[in-house]
Amino acid sequence: MSILVNKNTRLLVQGITGQEGLFHTEKMVSYGTNVVAGVTPGKGGEWVLNGKIPVFDSVNIARNATGANATIIFVPARFAADAMFEAADAAMELIICISEGVPVSDMMRVRNFLDQKGVRLVGPNCPGLLTPGEAKVGIIPGNITIPGNIGVVSRSGTLTYEVLYALKNLGLGVSTCVGIGGDPINGTNFIDTLEMFQEDPDTEKIVLIGEIGGTDEEQAAEYITKNVTKPIAGFIAGLSAPPGKRMGHAGAIVQGGTGLAEDKIKALEAAGVKIAQHPEEIPSLL
C-alpha cells in the first residue's frame, strides 16, 4: 500500500500539450502511471504520444469520457488558479499542481474553494507524488528510489531527491514520497501527510524535510506529539539563511521573527523527531 496515488490512479494531465506537460507525461507513462487523458482548452480531439493519449477541451469532458480520479496541472502560473477551480468543479478527488509562481491571492481563493468542495490539493510549486513501483504523478525522477516502507514528505524538490537517492543507495525504499511544495499557501501540509502515513500499514518510518518560513513544522511537531507513533527523522533547511530574504521558494522567508530554522528544529526534536545536521545523515537516523 501507499498514500494518495497507486496503480489504481487514473490520471488526467492539464496542460498536456505544453512543453513541460508533454515532457513529463512521457516520463510518467514510461514509469507505468495510468495517464488516461490530457486537457488543453482548444485542442480537444487531438492525441499525444503517438496517438496513445486523447486530449479534451475541459476537465469535465475528460472525466466523463475516461473516469479519471486525479489530475496533475502543468499550466503556466497565471492560468493555474483557473485550472484548479476547473478541476475541483469537475469533482476530481485529487489535484496535484506543479506550476511555480502562482499569486498568493489566487491561492487563498483556490484553497478556500477547494476546502468547501472537500477536494485534496498537493502543491502548487511542488514536485508531486511518487509511489515507487506503482505511480509517478509529478516530476520526481523515477529511477532514484525503490519501493519500501519509508514515507517521505517534503517542502522541497532536489533536496528530496538527494534523500531518496541516499536511501536507495543503502537499499532502503519508499512507500510514497509527497512533495507538498514551497509556497506560503498550499494544499496538503505536513499534518495531512503525517496523518495518512500514520494510518498506512505499509509505511513504517517517516522522513520529514522542512525549511524556513511559516509555522507548518511547529504545527506538525504538535501533531506528532499527540498522534504519530511511527519513528520520524527529519531535516530543516535554512539555518544559515538571512532574515527578510526569500530563499528561492516563495514561502521560504524568515519574517518578523517567525519561520526560523532553529525554532522548527527545537519543536520537532521536542516531539521526538531525530533531526539530521545534513541530509546525508538521514538514513542513519532511521
Partner 1 sequence: MKLHEYYSKRIFGEYGIPIPPGELAKTPAEAQKIAKKIGYPVVVKSQVLVGGRGKAGGIRVAKTAPEVKQHAEDILALTIKGLPVRMVLVDQAADIKTEIYLGITNDRSARKPVIMASAAGGVDIEEVAHSTPEKIIKRHIDPLMGLQSYQSRDLAAGIDLPREQWREFGKIALGLWKAYIGSDATLAEINPLVITGSGDLLAVDGKMVLDDNALFRHADLEELRDLDVDQEAEIRAREHGLSFIKLDGDIGCMVNGAGLAMTTMDIIKLFGGEPANFLDIGGGASADKVAAALEIILSDSNVKAILFNIFGGITRCDLVAKGILEALSEVKTDVPMVVRLVGTNAAEGRQLLKNANMETADTLAEAAKMAVKAARG
Beta carbon nearer to partner 1, 112 or 227 = 112
| 78 binds partner 1, rule: CB under 8 A | yes
In the complex, least distance from residue 108 CB atom to partner 1, rounded to whole angstroms: 4
Beta carbon nearer to partner 1, 63 or 136 = 136
Choose, from 63, 136, 168, 249, the residue flagged as catalytic: 249
Among 14, 69, 71, 160, binds partner 1 (CB under 8 A): 160
| 19 binds partner 1, rule: CB under 8 A | no
Among 102, 130, 153, 265, binds partner 1 (CB under 8 A): 102
Residue type for 66, please?
T
In the complex, least distance from residue 215 CB atom to partner 1, rounded to whole angstroms: 6
Number of residues that bind partner 1 (CB under 8 A): 60
In the complex, least distance from residue 223 CB atom to partner 1, rounded to whole angstroms: 13
In the complex, least distance from residue 56 CB atom to partner 1, rounded to whole angstroms: 27
Judge whether 186 and 265 are in contact, CB under 8 Å.
Answer: no
**249 given a catalytic annotation:** yes
Positions 138 through 157 that interact with partner 1 (CB under 8 A): 139-141, 143-144, 154-157
Among 158, 171, 201, 229, binds partner 1 (CB under 8 A): 158
Which residues would be at the binding site for partner 1 (CB under 8 A)? 27, 77-78, 101-109, 111-113, 139-141, 143-144, 154-162, 165, 182, 184-185, 209, 211-212, 214-216, 219, 235, 237-242, 245, 247-252, 256-257, 277-280
Q: Which residues are catalytic?
A: 249
